[in-house]
């Protein structure tokens, strides 16, 4: 491509980024519109590169790949710097939580939460057991919870919010547990802009900016999601280790003691599933029958640790 063609394509891509969804500086915190503008500005580049190369009769696979790659890198640098400056100078909106999440996300608050289900204490039981690795060694600090079997019940969320900090090392704590409709207070603690991006099964649940000022962003889940991966897309890479949020529809979770033992009490009687996780290791869910006043014993076995990375 000629120099004029290069700068022309770059200018068109940047113009599309700035105005595709209206002037981008009018809605800098609307991540859905921002992501849409970014997507279409990138789609335009390879199409224009092919057109320019064909017009100048220099179309070849090598020229297409090189010119497209250079344009994408230059355009990424320009838009990334522009977005950072825009976020720094634009006040964070008071209604940020609803505006920042995808329109269809399960975290957007809509109707009031349903009333908790009354539970007769005489119709509850306990489950006890231990968590071990594949070699039978006990695992201390493993998180154990009930992921299934209690869907017919509604449990009141804790009134105390869960606090999550984000610094240059990543999410702190690296594994947080929240209940449906329990509030999360997430903030940047290193004076830098971060984003908290939650992903489940390759689907983004929310993408919330965390301001350098340390002002808390408020987040909540409307549905139980199980283990959700959380990362920052402002500073991707090995320096910021991704975190996990366990989103439960019930209050039954605990951590194992130094001997790998655990106990969950006050569980409504019936058939429930148990799951466990620690240090990148998990295992298959295990069913257990809980009778009123009973306390069945189970052993959960976790496999080898799996590698983690940005989704």
- Distance between CA 270 and CA 150 in Å, rounded? 9
From the candidate CATH numbers 2.60.40.1120, 3.40.50.2300, 3.40.50.300, 2.40.40.20, the one assigned to the domain spanning 119-150+253-290? 2.60.40.1120
Instruction: Give the per-residue pLDDT at 96.
Output: 44
CA torsion 292-295-296-302 (nearest 10°) is 120
The CA-atom distances, in angstroms, between 217 and each of 161, 164, 205, 227 are: 12, 10, 15, 21
Q: What is the pLDDT along the chain (311 residues), one digit of tens a residue?
A: 788 888 888 888 888 878 776 777 777 766 667 777 787 788 888 888 888 888 888 888 888 888 889 888 888 888 778 777 777 777 655 444 443 444 434 444 445 667 899 999 999 999 999 999 988 999 999 999 999 999 999 999 999 999 999 888 888 999 999 999 999 999 999 888 888 889 998 888 888 888 888 889 899 999 999 999 998 887 665 567 789 999 999 999 999 999 999 999 999 999 999 999 998 888 889 999 999 998 889 989 887 554 433 33
In the chain, where the domains are located: 3-90, 119-150+253-290, 156-249
Instruction: Give the per-residue pLDDT at 308.
Output: 39
Distance of CA 182 to the CA centre of its chain: 16
pTM above 0.85, yes or no: no
152 Cβ contact partners less than 8 Å away, ≥ 6 residues apart = 117
Task: Assign a CATH topology to domain 156-249.
Answer: Immunoglobulin-like (2.60.40)
Topology alike, domains 119-150+253-290 and 156-249: yes
Q: Tell which residue, 293, 297, 296, has the closest CA to residue 124.
A: 293
């Amino acid at each position: 491509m000629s120099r004029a063609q290069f700068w022309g394509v770059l200018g068109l891509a940047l113009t599309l980024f700035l105005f595709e969804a209206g002037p981008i500086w009018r809605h800098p915190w609307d991540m859905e519109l921002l992501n849409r503008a970014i997507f279409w500005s990138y789609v335009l580049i390879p199409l224009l590169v092919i057109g320019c190369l064909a017009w100048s009769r220099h179309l070849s696979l090598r020229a297409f790949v090189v010119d497209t790659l250079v344009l994408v890198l230059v355009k990424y640098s320009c838009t990334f710097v522009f977005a950072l400056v825009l976020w720094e100078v634009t006040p964070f909106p008071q209604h940020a939580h609803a505006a920042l999440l995808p329109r269809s996300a399960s975290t957007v608050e809509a109707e009031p939460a349903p009333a908790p289900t009354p539970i007769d204490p005489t119709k509850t039981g306990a489950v006890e057991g231990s968590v071990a690795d594949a070699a039978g060694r006990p695992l201390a600090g493993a998180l154990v919870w009930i992921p299934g079997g209690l869907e017919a019940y509604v449990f009141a969320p804790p009134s105390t919010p869960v606090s999550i900090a984000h610094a240059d090392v990543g999410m702190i704590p690296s594994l947080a547990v929240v209940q449906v409709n329990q509030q999360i207070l997430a903030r940047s603690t290193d004076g830098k802009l971060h984003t908290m991006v939650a992903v489940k099964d390759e689907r983004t649940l929310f993408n919330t900016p965390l301001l350098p000022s340390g002002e808390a962003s408020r987040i909540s889940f409307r549905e139980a999601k199980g283990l959700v991966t959380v990362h920052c897309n402002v500073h991707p890479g090995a320096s910021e280790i991704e975190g996990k949020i366990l989103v439960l529809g019930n209050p039954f979770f605990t951590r194992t003691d130094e001997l790998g033992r655990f106990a969950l009490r006050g569980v409504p009687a019936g058939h429930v599933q148990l799951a466990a996780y620690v240090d990148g290791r998990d295992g298959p869910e295990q069913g257990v029958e809980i009778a009123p006043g009973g306390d069945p014993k189970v052993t959960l076995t976790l496999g080898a640790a799996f590698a983690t990375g940005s989704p």
